[in-house]
Amino acid sequence: MFMHNKRLQYTVRVSEPNPKLACMLLEQFGGADGELAAAMRYFTQGLAEEDPGRKDMLLDIATEELSHLEVIGSIVTMLNKGARAQLTEQQSSEAELYQMIGASGTSAKEAILFGGGPGLIDSAGVPWTANYIDSRGEPTVDLRSNIAAESRAKIVYERLIGITDDPGIKEALGFLMTREVAHQKSFEKALYAIEDNFPPGKLPGVEAYANMYVNASQGEGDMRGPWNSGDQWETVDDLNQVLPADPGGDGTASVGLGPSDAGALQMMTARLKSDPDADPMTGADLGAGPGAGRTSKGDQGGASDIHSASRRADSLTPAE
């Protein structure tokens, strides 16, 4: 069960209201790399985890992320406190209220729909979605995704710290940012505590393709580095050499069809057959004007282009 402690994980001291900053901070409340996404990501992974160590870690971190959600939501609430009261009680003039909503940055939704409270939206007003969570139920995959998620959260906090000079907010965001660094380290350790963690999953890669580097983009700017040269790599510059990659294959796509499917396919192919010798007149030819390029009208097309252009100009001239 969850227990709620009335103290925050980190003290929130906000110097003065700032609805615009509140809107930007929503990125870490209801955004793709925000705290709700992090909490739900680790909570659902933790529920399904069989390994007792990883299960404990995932539920520890999931619960801490909920505490971060509380901290960032509290900062947003403090930043909006004045605006929220004014909006709710409508003490200011219409013009002042209108200006206040405009001051909340890109998201009027925050002011109108949520009354200045912390909505589960990102800084652009986009609602939170479970699509932000990309768990696949395989620890060697999910831990890598968690490591990436923590590094994204770290960078977003870094950017948010860069756009405020409120010392109390900077300090709290610095705490949250640092906790993401710590989480990344835990996930890295947990990943490498699985002895065979690469490639992910149970099936091995096919040996013949595992060391191949395909130099598929060629020309000026071609480079060699540890990612494509050295003992680990067999770099392929002549693409025809590996086209198709399977030995003995002809690189075509085929499928075995039953009589019913084959019959239907034959009918469809016959009905949609194109005639490469036809040069049919089309609507584009008939309506072609200036800028149409070559059309089936042939040489006359050019002449009639000029005429139709002047006709159009005539019709635009007001009648006298």
Interface residue list for Mn ion (CB under 5 A) = 35, 38, 65, 68, 180, 183
Least distance CB 34 / Mn ion (angstroms)? 8
Tell me how far apart the alpha carbons of residues 73 and 65 are, in angstroms, rounded to a whole number.
Answer: 12
Least distance CB 71 / Mn ion (angstroms)? 9
Tokens of 286: 């008939």
Q: Is 72 in contact with 35 (CB distance < 8 Å)? A: yes
Q: Which of 38, 240, 234, 226 is nearest to 142 (CA)?
A: 38
First to last CA, the chain: 86
Q: How many helices (H) and strands (E) does the chain have?
A: 12, 2
Least distance CB 30 / Mn ion (angstroms)? 13
* Residue whose CB is less far from Mn ion, 62 or 100: 62
Provide the 8-state DSSP code for 295. -
Tell me how far apart the alpha carbons of residues 148 and 16 are, in angstroms, rounded to a whole number.
Answer: 34
Tokens of 202: 């149970």
Least distance CB 6 / Mn ion (angstroms)? 20
Tell me how far apart the alpha carbons of residues 309 and 229 are, in angstroms, rounded to a whole number.
Answer: 60
Other residues' Cβ atoms within 10 Å of the Cβ of residue 302: 12
* Residue whose CB is less far from Mn ion, 99 or 178: 178
* Residue whose CB is less far from Mn ion, 35 or 110: 35
Least distance CB 40 / Mn ion (angstroms)? 12
* Residue whose CB is less far from Mn ion, 75 or 111: 75
* Residue whose CB is less far from Mn ion, 156 or 288: 156
Least distance CB 68 / Mn ion (angstroms)? 4
Q: Is 155 in contact with 161 (CB distance < 8 Å)? A: no
Tell me how far apart the alpha carbons of residues 245 and 157 are, in angstroms, rounded to a whole number.
Answer: 44
* Residue whose CB is less far from Mn ion, 11 or 99: 11
